[in-house]
């Protein structure tokens, strides 16, 4: 091979080496600043997340029981729980009957409709054979009609004392009550449905609360206001179900 051929080969090799791409690391001119910005942003993200978790208000669950209240879920005996389960729909039936007729149904009326726990069937016998009475505002004992309000003089003030304690205790409330006592089952209590008026918009509506007394022969309370009932040993039944009871005990976020 002559010298011209050798020069041609060398030239070709030099051209191929120049054309081969090579990787080159290009460093940013502001690399230090970008690193600082990244770490500051990450720090702020972590701090804001932790702050949100710590300051996030707890979800509200059912209100805690007061000293004069009892949970229907775990605060009642087996027989009391059975009676309470029957009284819940029964109180609604009583209110609806009053809305339709303008009068409060008697125990005989409720028995005619086969409504537990008033109807004397196997359920009634199994759960203590409780004796039920209806007591109206102003009645001195069960079954009496409500007495008329006393006449008023001197700019609307009563001219004499109300005729009895029940009338005084329910004056102005229009309260009706269904009272059950004398049950003979083990763990039996006395029971009370108190139906009063509450104002809703432009209407007066009836609302029922259920009360219990650990003495199955507890006398009918002469005052049906909550403070009077509590003073006489009655406790209001709060109708928690299983889900709301777990939420009350453990909290909404831990149910």
Question: What is residue 236's predicted lDDT score, i.e. its pLDDT?
Answer: 93
Whether residue 196 is predicted with pLDDT greater than 80 in this model: the reply is no
Q: 115: pLDDT confidence band, cut at 50, 70 and 90?
A: very high
Q: 131: pLDDT confidence band, cut at 50, 70 and 90?
A: very high
Q: Give the pair of three-digit tokens for residue 224.
A: 């049906």
Q: What is the pLDDT of residues 142-171, one digit of tens each?
A: 444 444 444 444 443 333 333 444 444 444
Task: Round to whole Å and give the CA distance between 158 and 135.
Answer: 23
Q: 93: pLDDT confidence band, cut at 50, 70 and 90?
A: very high
Q: 184: pLDDT confidence band, cut at 50, 70 and 90?
A: very high
Q: What is the pLDDT of residues 34-87, one digit of tens each?
A: 777 777 788 888 888 877 777 766 656 667 788 889 988 888 999 999 999 999
Whether residue 250 is predicted with pLDDT greater than 90 in this model: the reply is no
Alpha-carbon distances of 146 from 43, 167, 174, 229, 236, rounded to whole Å: 74, 8, 10, 20, 25
Can you give the residue ranges of every domain in the chain? Answer: 69-145+160-254
Q: Give one DSSP letter per residue of 138-168, joined into a string.
A: T-SSTTPPPPPPPPEETTTEESS--SSHHHH
For 161-174, b/e burial (b = at least 16 CB within 10 A) is: ebeeebbbbbbeee
């Amino acid at each position: 091979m002559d010298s011209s051929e050798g020069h041609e080969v060398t030239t070709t090799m030099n051209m191929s080496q120049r054309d081969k791409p090579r990787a080159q690391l290009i460093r940013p001119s502001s690399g230090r600043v970008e690193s600082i910005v990244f770490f500051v942003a990450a720090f702020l993200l972590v701090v804001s997340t932790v702050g949100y978790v710590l300051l996030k208000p707890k979800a509200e669950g059912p209100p805690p029981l007061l000293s004069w209240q009892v949970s229907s879920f775990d605060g009642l005996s087996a027989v009391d729980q059975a009676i309470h389960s029957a009284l819940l729909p029964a109180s609604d039936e009583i209110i609806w009957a009053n809305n339709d007729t303008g009068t409060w149904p008697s125990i005989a009326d409720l028995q005619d409709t086969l409504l537990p726990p008033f109807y004397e069937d196997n359920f009634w016998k199994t759960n203590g054979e409780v004796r039920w009475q209806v007591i109206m505002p102003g009645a001195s004992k069960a079954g009496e009609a409500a007495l008329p309000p006393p006449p008023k003089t001197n700019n609307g003030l009563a001219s004499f004392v109300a005729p009895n304690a029940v009338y005084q205790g329910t004056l102005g409330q229009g309260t009706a009550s269904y009272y059950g006592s004398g049950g003979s089952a083990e763990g039996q209590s006395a029971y009370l449905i108190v139906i009063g008026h509450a104002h809703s918009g432009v209407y007066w509506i009836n609302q029922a609360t259920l009360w219990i007394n650990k003495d199955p022969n507890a006398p009918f309370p002469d005052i049906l206001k909550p403070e009077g009932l509590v003073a006489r040993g009655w406790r209001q039944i709060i109708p928690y179900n299983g889900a709301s009871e777990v939420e009350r005990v453990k909290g909404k976020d831990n149910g």
